[in-house]
Structure 1
Amino acid sequence: MLAVFHSVNEEGHDYLCNIPFKQWTQAYDGGLRYGHMTSNLAEYINSVLKGTRHLPITLVVRETFFCLAAQFSKRAASYAGQMLGGHVWCAKVLQEINKTKAQANIMHIVCHDRDNLWFRVTEFDKPHQGITGGQYRVHLRNRTCDCGRFDTLRYPCAHVIVACQNLRLDPMSYVDDVYKLEYMYNMWRHIFPLVPNERKWPSVLLAPFKLLPDRELRRKPKGRPCSTRICNNMDIQETTNQQKLCGWCRNPGHTSRSCPNRNS
């Protein structure tokens, strides 16, 4: 099993290395994908609408509308309360910066050009943690660092924090404004209008047939729940003629309840 897993990893590594890094990684795209969500957005929508798949399309649209209305109101109230409390930045960025400050205390820095803010930061080896140190160039004026984290995420990495400490600058001055609570509040403060009662809707010509829900898609009340994951082309489909194996001895022809090897 380990040999097969290692072989699959090597094939996947070779496949990805043949594709230019700027086409599939955020660290090498030159900042083109910054500000866009490139992670599991489809999986998130899939989990939110998991219980509405067997409903008609009109009810799915209605459920999506009211879920978004409730989520926007909740998030906007949360960010407004934080701003009233005197907070400026989101808690996630503050947590990451405080974590990197501990790493910055054990780094060595050399200033090469104080006017243009060029620095060379050296990390020390940590054999007990499996970390190999290296040297990184930091250019505060251009907001770049060789590690790529500062360029991609737009908030200071550990090397930038060391440079800021050397000049006695506030690292928060190099955090992008998109991480401010004001920006997040402006994104979530939009209000969804209330939907009037169906009796007050204007009359429309209905279709000659009725849309009924598919009862086969409902979750079974008893037994092991069936998987509700929506498979796509990336999922490996099992063949339909594959013979089932016993869960106890892994032999075909019987189940774990009637397994003859269970008592032994």
Structure 2
Amino acid sequence: MTTTLITGANKGLGKETARVLVEAGHTVYVGSRDEARGRAAADELGARFVQLDVTDDASVAAAIARIEADGDGLDVLVNNAGIASYEFRDGQVGEKHDGPSVLSVFDTNVVGIVRVTQAALPLLRRSANPVVVNVSSALGSFWAVHEDSRPASHFPTIVYGPSKAAVSMLTVQYAKLVPEVKFNAVEPGITATELGGGDPGAHPGRPASESAQIVAKWALIGADGPTGTFQEDAGELGW
């Protein structure tokens, strides 16, 4: 049995990724800050709930301790939890660029990955096929934001994109530092979620259930799978 932890999994992309992996036979822990929502999602999916706030060291430690105590180990970590910070300005939605807002985004999107990964590594190292999937974005790809054919090149972002560039670099550096664990970053595609605080039903992106397929694909790689890569639907994505 393969055991998987997904952060930020009570809704959207994380929840749909959990659904795919449960169907694939994984024992999935739905990590969620909110207990009621997390338990409801886990019950719906046939998964297990674990309270997990990636910005809180104690919460992260308690979540990993709970998984260890359950005795099934940990084989796969999907670092999915992520936020963006927006506000209305002049009738349009724009990113918040004040210090506290920027720090909040980086604390969740970047430092949160380090917190959870560091806490999970002792368990992952005991697995016969340890895998970490970091949900990144083409907005954090230096290649994509310079390539006119890519949507990312037409959507300037001062905070969210750079936070995802950091996620991509974390993936590369962890792959070098911890070669016994496979680390890959994934661009899930433009997805209709509540990330920007809006209504997913009015979002131009594709359903989270579709985007979850690429995340799940990389959570399901075998022992001969690659490490230190950036992936999307069409294949490997340039950094």
Q: TM over 0.5, yes or no?
A: no
Superposition TM-score, scaled by structure 2 size: 0.21
TM-score, scaled relative to structure 1: 0.19
Higher strand residue share: 2
Computing the radius of gyration from Cα coordinates, the structure with the larger value is 1
